[in-house]
Amino acid sequence: MANDFDARLRDVRASAARHRSADVVLIVLTLLLSATVLVPWLLGRFLLRDTLFRPEASSVFDIAIRKNGTYFLSDWTAGLAVLFVFLGLALVLRPWSLRIGRVVFGFLFLAVGAGVFGPVSSHLWSLDEHVSADRLRTTAYPWSDTKYECDEQEAMFSGDLWQAHTARTEGLDGGCDRIVVYKGWEPVGWAQLPHGKTESSLVIQNNGLVQVKDDNGHVITSFAIWKPPIQGASG
């Protein structure tokens, strides 16, 4: 009986020793990955955006507006939260025999990951989404990045940047025959110009009617937008 007990005790101690060695490797590896800054940021940037604790804000209707610099701290702390939580679970969910110190560290890492880094990242994310939502209203849509543009007119009203982009229909030779109106990054209306006509200015009225005029001030076409400004805008 004593021999069996001694053998069992040796097995338990040997197993605990192996687990403790693995614990050290996990702890050191996690701390090294966290210290790189790059690894947790990559996790937050590419795997943890628009997730349960960092949901996409309804006001951010185009995620291309997001800038990595704006979201850096939120992405970084999100990655740290995941690294610390996984390390904590790895330490806590294995046998506790002769590993109480490691288990305590596991609960500590869980508390820091889920109770500190997670909420901080979530809060920063909300602030960053608010910044992006404001930029969607107050900056010009990058039309010329993907489309051929002849001209652009801008006017700021009630905190929103209104733009009229004059563009060329694909396949058309020469001239620009289309006007697209944007409220920030949101398209709100467009019109096809009569053949041979050139836009010089436009007026956006309170009722949402857009009048396009030539160099002589004559209205060459008009169209409605579905989100008119509070005040009339002219460009």
41 pLDDT higher than 90: yes
Q: Is 70 helix (H, G, I), strand (E, B) or coil?
A: helix
Q: pTM for this one?
A: 0.82
Identify whether residues 179 and 120 lie together within a single domain. no
Lowest mean pLDDT among 55-64, 73-82, 191-200, 217-226: 191-200
Which domain covers residue 216, as residue numbers?
143-234
| Continuous segment of H or E residues that includes residue 223 | strand 219-224
* Sequence-ordered list of residues with C-beta below 8 angstroms from that of 161, at least 6 positions apart, any chain: 137, 138, 139, 140, 154, 155, 183, 184
Residue with the larger pLDDT of the pair 210 and 19: 210
Identify whether residues 61 and 132 lie together within a single domain. yes
Please answer whether residues 139 and 156 qualify as being in contact, where contact means their C-beta atoms are separated by less than 8 angstroms.
no
Residue with the larger pLDDT of the pair 201 and 230: 201
Identify whether residues 115 and 66 lie together within a single domain. yes
pLDDT score recorded for residue 157: 85
* Number of domains comprising the chain: 2
Identify whether residues 105 and 160 lie together within a single domain. no
pLDDT score recorded for residue 49: 97
Of 120, 138, 156, the residue at which a domain comes to its end is 138
- In sequence order, the β-bridge partners of residue 191 are 179
Identify whether residues 134 and 21 lie together within a single domain. yes
Measured over the CA atoms of residue 226, residue 230, residue 234 and residue 235, the dihedral's sign is: negative
Query: pLDDT averaged over the chain?
Result: 86
CA 46 to chain CA centroid, nearest Å? 10
User: How far is 114 from 41, CA to CA, in rounded Å?
Assistant: 17
114 pLDDT higher than 70: yes
Q: Write phi, then psi, for 51 (nearest 5 degrees).
A: -110, -175
Identify whether residues 134 and 151 lie together within a single domain. no
